[in-house]
Amino acid sequence: MIDLTIDNTLAELVNASPASARVLESFGLDYCCGGRRHLGEACSGSDVDPVLVLDALANLEPGPEPDWASMGPVELVDHLEAFHHAYLHTELGRLDALAEKVVDVHGDRHPELHEVRTTYQALRTDLEPHLLKEERALFPMIRELATATAPPNLHCGSLQDPISVMMTEHDRAGELLAKLRQQTSGYRWPTDGCASYRAFYDGLAELEADTHLHVHKENNVLFPAVVALEQRWSDSLR
């Protein structure tokens, strides 16, 4: 475990203790797309008292070291596909069906649901091709790079180019998730909400948490490791 100070980056905190993600989420601190920010900077930008965050982090129950934080690139892309990608492939369709049902039943009394559905559908429209680009293009190239015994000849050139595209798309997903949180008042369903209404909002909250952790693993663990590996191959050819 690392020493907890306001100089830790958000990514460092979550890499050292995955349970830290829940704490940062509770304070509205973006540790995935904004993982390179120091805790003090992030708290200042969100009007959050860093002392409260540090206290909450210090009181976390100790747990095992995060397996994914020490995974190599091949093992990590396998993990991402098996857990986060598989989850999204199933959950995105389920939430879409719930959105339609809830809007049909409650849309007249809660007109904000129309905006929630529109934002959610934009998120799904972005995420599904993003997953396929990773599964069919980027991840196979990462596996090729990581298992190469001679300088790899990747057809796209440097992997930093597709990685940059993926990170831009991650930023867009983060913006849409933040918009959903705002439109749903923090995923709080109204007192007259039916079971489907509650399931929809609870599902959106779970989707947000899972996607934040998913993006963190890629932006702050996988991609830096791949860039470093590619640089080592480049240096070996000089």
pLDDT value at residue 157: 72
**Residue 62: DSSP 8-state:** P
Region of poorest pLDDT, from 62-71, 177-186, 187-196: 62-71
Reply yes or no on whether the pLDDT at 184 is more than 80.
yes
Render pLDDT for 109-167 as a digit per residue (tens, 0 to 9). 999 999 999 999 999 999 999 999 999 999 999 999 999 887 776 555 789 999 999 99
**Please, what is the Cα angle at 6 between 213 and 70, to 5 degrees?**
40
| Confidence category of residue 193, pLDDT binned at 50, 70, 90 | confident
For 43, other C-beta atoms within 10 Å of its C-beta total 21
Instruction: Give the pTM.
Output: 0.86
Q: List, for residues 63-85, the tens digit of each pLDDT value.
A: 665 688 889 999 999 999 999 99
Predicted pLDDT of residue 40: 92
Under the banding of pLDDT at 50, 70 and 90, the label for residue 15 is confident
Q: State how far the Cα of 127 lies from the Cα of 93, in Å rounded to an integer.
A: 12
Q: What is the mean pLDDT of the chain?
A: 91
3-state DSSP of 157-186: CCCHHHHHHHHHHHHHHHHHHHHHHHHCCC
For residue 100, how far is the Cα from the chain centroid? 25
Mean pLDDT score, 209-238: 89
Residue 29 has pLDDT above 70, yes or no: yes
